[in-house]
Amino acid sequence: MSRGFPDELKAQVDRIAEAIIYLYTESRRLTKDEAQKVGLTGPQLSVAKLLEQLGDLSLSELSERINAQNSTVTGIVDRMEREGLVDRKRSAEDRRVIHIRLTDKGQKLARSMSFEPFKIFREAFEEALTPAELRELVTLLDKLATYVRSRVDGQNGRSNGH
């Protein structure tokens, strides 16, 4: 299914892949460094800040937001619950749904962290790209992510990515 890009385009593809890997690696490093300052893991920091910003989320919503499988998020939430940072509350609308929410201790910790995982990237996009370039980038990245997701899901026998 490869288009057989000419060598100069293959080099461009490599540069794009390198940039994506760099951005991902830096994001993870920054999150981990910030999390360690308050005794959390990177994923726990992400969960705490998401819940602070968005309020209660179901396990599925949380999994979708941090792009992880429900089983992975369950482990993160279990550890945070043992630390008294979150608790689970059954939905009044649908008793099958459990919402994850920050406890008072979790709220206090989340508020104490000025870190916002996407802040540095938002600033970079605002400074480095025009609005038209940003719209085009979103379209292209969505297209790439959809393609990769379909390939990964197909190889893993999954249908929805989680």
pLDDT at 84 over 70: yes
**Of 5 and 19, more confident:** 19
Enclosing domain of residue 54: 7-115
**Same-domain check for residues 79 and 31:** yes
Mean pLDDT of the chain: 87
Looking at the structure of the chain, the number of domains it has is 2
18/132 Cα distance (integer angstroms): 23
- Residue 161 pLDDT: 44
**Same-domain check for residues 101 and 74:** yes
**Same-domain check for residues 14 and 86:** yes
142/138 Cα distance (integer angstroms): 6
pLDDT at 64 over 80: yes
**Same-domain check for residues 107 and 151:** no
User: CATH code at 79?
Assistant: 1.10.10.10
pLDDT digit string, tens, across residues 113-132: 877 667 778 888 899 999 99
DSSP code per residue over 6-61: -HHHHHHHHHHHHHHHHHHHHHHHHHHHHHHHTT--HHHHHHHHHHHHH--EEHHH
| Single pTM value for the model | 0.69
